[in-house]
Structure 1
Amino acid sequence: MKLCIIGAGASGLCAIKNAINYGFEDITAYEQANEIGGTWVYTDEIGKDKIGLEIHSSMYQGLQTNLPKKIMHYPDFPFPEQEKSYITAEEVLRYYQSYADTFNLRKFIKFEHHVVRVRPLSKNNAWEVIVKDLKSGEYNLVEYDAVLVCNGHYNSPLIPFYEGQDLFEGKQMHSHDYRNAQPFKNEPVLIIGAGPSGRDAVTDIQYVASNVTWSHHMEKLSLTKFRDNVICKPDVSKITKDGAIFVDGSYQQFSVIIYCTGYRYTFPFLSVDCGLTAVNNCVEPLYKHCINIKYPTMAIIGLPNFICPNQMFDLQVKFCLEFISGKRKLPNKEEMIEDLENVKRIQLVDRELPRKKFHHLGVGYHESYYESLAKIANIRAD
């Protein structure tokens, strides 16, 4: 079988390694960048690169992991022993490089290759993949038996709409383009969002900005103590030409807005024929958050969040390869759709999650998800 893997970041690398273990001999992974690591590869560049493609990485200087390393590694490849639990982005990237070198994965990767389009070929249950060689500019059309989509989900900024947004006369940007605090020296800054990037941005920028207005709706923040120039505000109600009005009626002025408001799941290379939609960060129809129910030889790896990433990537890949390889048989489409409807009931009705958090697992749910994959495919959930 010919297997196409899109991306050579954390999920793509373990897809290559596991595909080798499953006996796939014709494996090609396409990576847009010139090295492995995906979002963990730092670059000073923002916006678009020299050939007009959107910069993929959201990495910023000084980032440290918000998960301890003991739950970040692949099941069969622990991090090097050291005292500290929370490590730098550079150390994480070196880990992925070591993983690729240890298992000799680079020979399966075509670097600086951009996947333009993927569409199903119903005549023989194959996939047509159009790829652009970014060095030569040439386009190639290749057929594959199966496709694993491992393109990550920290590269397409989600910026919420606010009344008056277009009237603001200062600078507006998303944390995707944040690299360090220096551009905001002596500026009054509004930071919207209290996720990991929002907290890190506040922590860094407070030392150089004249003041930082931090808009969020978190009831409890971390124990981090911030400087006196950090002003916490509730959600933004309206943006004006030089500031914002908040839902409590208060008003604050600033010259910069940084949206730390998350990312959208996007798959611009998938044709409509693939049968998948990604509306408000809910990707469907997928069996077990990964297998395309319409075309089960395609899978999306890495959608669930609030999980142990590399362990989940590894388990999802093994789960999918059990069926793609023909080793096991999937339930029929009606049964997979019934399972999806049950997941919708749990996520959207029982847990009362908004649609945008459909793939949100978290404590008590990611464990049962792992167990479900392991049981169905008869594999270990390490």
Structure 2
Amino acid sequence: MNDHDVIIVGGGQAGLAAAHAARAQGLTPVILEAGAEPVGSWPRYYDSLTLFSPARYSGLPGLPFPGDPEHYPHRDEVVDYLRRYARCLGTEILTGHRVDAVTRTDGAFTVHATGETALTAPVVIAASGGFSRPYRPALSGLDTFTGSVLHSSEYRNPEPFAGQRVVVVGAGNSAVQIAAELAVHARVTLANRAPVKFAPQRPFGKDVHFWSAAVGFDHLPIGHLLKKPLPSPVNDPGFYKATISQGQPDQRRVFTTADGDTVTWPDGTRERVDTILLATGFRPGLSYLDGLGALAADGRPSQDRGLSTTHAGLGYVGLEWQRSFASATLRGVGRDAHYVLRKLTGNRVGTGKRRCRPIG
């Protein structure tokens, strides 16, 4: 006999949305969260992080994001919101449960967490985040660079870098936001393989997410048609493009190699650098599925729109471009979670041990 109807690995926004979807079907889910509370990676992001989507478009199913619908929530607001969401879900959440492995026997999954009793269920949702494993590109000489090398996941605020020569590698929202913040305290270059593309955050007086929702782009299920995720332009509230054009930070193509404490730029010039900060994104943290044979050679899940193509009953929530442009965001994980749970369970009736109650 299975312990639960659904086991959800990960208690961040994707896992909480998956639990909501399971409860909506009358199923009994349990969330296994490695950390001390079900708030995902949000507390570990840099201090000044602010969402590029207004509160109106930043909520999970059943609970609107609080405050002025047009304000852009800060990192700590998101953490508080996820805490509240977890409390009113009415779902069992086991914190301090880091999943090591998932096995399958006779149609049931067994989920093994470090030092804990294994749990079984016919359905497992991997919701440990599409952004839980920092990606560090193989840049020439980076492994022997004698200055500091850190990933954006390790960055908190600019004070420790005051007066330094810093190179921020990346072209996304975080890279630009961090580089612009650092440039007030240090001499900073934003290095990338192609120039950063900007998009106005509020075209015609409305946030870009308003227009995306209005034309249906957020909902467009085209993720499975893409061989690789489409690059997204940086949302510019009106000053990022201007500060970069003024050289604070300046923008260059990424260095060709690093040697000791020196980098060589594409034009052949060499320059001493104190810190290289990699704002180069993340990859899904799904190593616990490796022994199951559910992952491709590069560690990415073998899946189609969140449904495993290797194991019936295995699903994913929170992957970048899983089904749509918004799949890995607060506003998008709920739609994907409900799609995946419906596909995995159909009209299956839960055990009835835990009933959904309205959130709000």
TM-score computed with the length of structure 2 as normaliser: 0.77
Structure-to-structure mapping, 1:52-91, within 5 angstroms: 57=44, 59-82=45-68, 84-91=70-77
Q: Tell me whether 1:251 sits opposite 2:263 in the alignment.
A: no
Q: Which secondary structure does the structure 1 equivalent of 2:76 belong to? A: helix
Tell me the equivalent position of 1:327: 347
Q: For residues 196-229 of structure 1, what are the alpha-carbon distances to aligned partners after superposition, in whole Å with 9 as ceiling and x for unaligned?
A: 22112112211221x1122122253444233655
Same amino acid, percent of matched pairs: 24
Deviation at 1:75, TM superposition (A): 4.1
1:263 aligns with 2:282: yes
3-state SS of paired residue (1:204): helix
Per the alignment, residue 94 of structure 2 pairs with: 110
Question: Matches of 2:297 and 2:336 in 1, distance apart?
Answer: 19
State the distance in 2 between where 1:17 and 1:172 align: 39
- Displacement, 1:271? 3.6
Provide the residue aligned with 2:174 in structure 1.
197
Preserved contact between residue 326 and residue 333 of structure 2 (Cα < 8 Å): no
Contact 1:234 1:248 in 2 (8 A): no
Deviation at residue 244 of structure 1 after TM alignment: 1.6
Matches within 5 A, 1:1-382: 2-25=5-28, 27-40=29-42, 42=43, 57=44, 59-82=45-68, 84-105=70-91, 108-121=92-105, 124-132=106-114, 138-209=115-186, 211-216=187-192, 217-221=194-198, 222=236, 223-224=239-240, 225-226=242-243, 228=247, 230-277=249-296, 279=298, 282-284=300-302, 286-288=303-305, 290-305=306-321, 306-307=325-326, 309-327=329-347
User: 1:111 deviation in Å?
Assistant: 0.9
The answer to whether the 8 A contact 1:119-1:271 is kept is: no
| C-alpha distance in structure 2 between counterparts of 1:218 and 1:161, whole Å | 20
Q: Closer, same or farther in 2 for the Cα pair 1:220/1:292, shift >3 Å?
A: closer
Tell me how far 1:256 sits from its aligned partner. Answer: 0.8
Specify the code of the residue in structure 2 equivalent to 1:322: R
Q: 1:229 to 1:80 in 2, by over 3 A?
A: closer
CA distance in 2, matches of 1:190, 1:271: 35
For CA contacts below 8 A with separation 6 or more, give which structure has more relative contact order.
2
Aligned residue pair count:
298
2:133 is paired with a residue of what secondary structure?
Answer: coil
Task: Specify the code of the residue in structure 2 equivalent to 1:319.
Answer: Y
Alpha-carbon distance between aligned partners in 2 of 1:126 and 1:283, rounded to the nearest angstrom = 19
Instruction: Supply the distance in 2 between the matched residues of 1:219 and 1:262 (Cα, whole angstroms).
Output: 15
RMSD: 2.1
Is the CA contact 2:54–2:69 (under 8 Å) kept in the aligned structure 1? no
CA distance in 1, matches of 2:293, 2:339: 20
Partner of 2:109, secondary structure, is strand
Deviations 1:352-373 (A, max 9, x none): xxxxxxxxxxxxxxxxxxxxxx
Residues 307 and 315 in structure 2, CA contact (< 8 A), matched pair in contact too? yes
* Distance in 2 separating the partners of 1:111 and 1:282: 25
Structure 1 pair 270/312, CA: closer, same or farther in 2 (3 Å)? same
Cα offset, 1:84, TM superposition: 4.2
CA contact under 8 A between 1:120 and 1:274: conserved in structure 2?
no
